[in-house]
Amino acid sequence: MIDEQRPLSFYPYAKKQRLFIGSEEKNTVHDIVPFEFVGKKLYYGLTATGTSDLNPMPFDPRYPMVGLHANALNTILDNKIIYEVPKIHVAL
């Protein structure tokens, strides 16, 4: 569990390896620099086949939990919270 927010440069892989989007095989690589994340929220996690961070969700039996956390944050920021409907409305 991460107990606080940390800069991208804190994580070991950010110093040892190159961060990029795209495919080196297809020559579509775009380097990622930490400045691209200023003012943004970044979640990273395991989504590859064989990882253990997959759990059941209502519409998918094995969903990556990093997706759950990103969706939860998006729901909060967009103020699209699900509320319990009063019983009087259900009866109508």
Q: What is the DSSP string of 1-37?
A: ---S---GGGSHHHHHS--EES-TTTT--EE--GGGG
Mean pLDDT of the 70-87 span: 85
The predicted structure's pLDDT at residue 3: 43
The predicted structure's pLDDT at residue 37: 76
36 or 3, which is more confident = 36
Which phi and psi (to 5°) does residue 91 adopt? -65, -30
User: How far is 22 from 24, CA to CA, in rounded Å?
Assistant: 7
Mean pLDDT of the 32-56 span: 78
Quick one: tokens of 17? Answer: 């390896």
